[in-house]
Amino acid sequence: MGKTEKRELVSRLNVLLLHLLKWQFQPDRRGPSWQTKIRVQRRALWRHMVDNPSLKTALSDCIAEGYGDAVIEAAGETGLPDSSFPTICPWSFEQFMDPTFWPDRTD
């Protein structure tokens, strides 16, 4: 597993998880652009994992890294405090990669 491939995985996870958090925590702002970004990132992540199967061994760590960055960005973009978001990713890789998965806010 190369560093470049791992960085790419973390970056794509960050973008996907950021948009899923915004989708969940700002339901009134949902729109076609967020939906498109989520769908495209899922496809790009799938391709990246197919092209780099050795990344599966680092997937848990990469999700944690990408999610941590996603929380910081989501807080900045939504105006909500970091503490509004779960401290660890609330979804499994299989769940957030499922094209039918669209998180609802759970308060």
* pLDDT tens readout for residues 25-45: 999 999 999 999 999 999 999
* pLDDT tens readout for residues 55-95: 999 999 999 999 999 999 999 999 999 999 999 999 999 99
- 90 lies in some domain: yes
In the chain, the number of structural domains is 1
pLDDT score of 17 more than 80 = yes
Calculate the alpha carbon distances from 32 to 11, 36, 58, 80 in Å.
Answer: 22, 6, 32, 22
Rounded CA separation 96/39 (Å) = 10
- 65 lies in some domain: yes
3-state secondary structure 45-103: HHHHHHHCHHHHHHHHHHHHHHHHHHHHHHHHHHCCCHHHCCCCCCCCHHHHHCCCCCC
Rounded CA separation 30/23 (Å) = 6
- 25 lies in some domain: yes
- 76 lies in some domain: yes
- 105 lies in some domain: no
At residue 77, the pLDDT reads 95
| Residue 33: domain span | 3-97
- 102 lies in some domain: no
At residue 46, the pLDDT reads 97
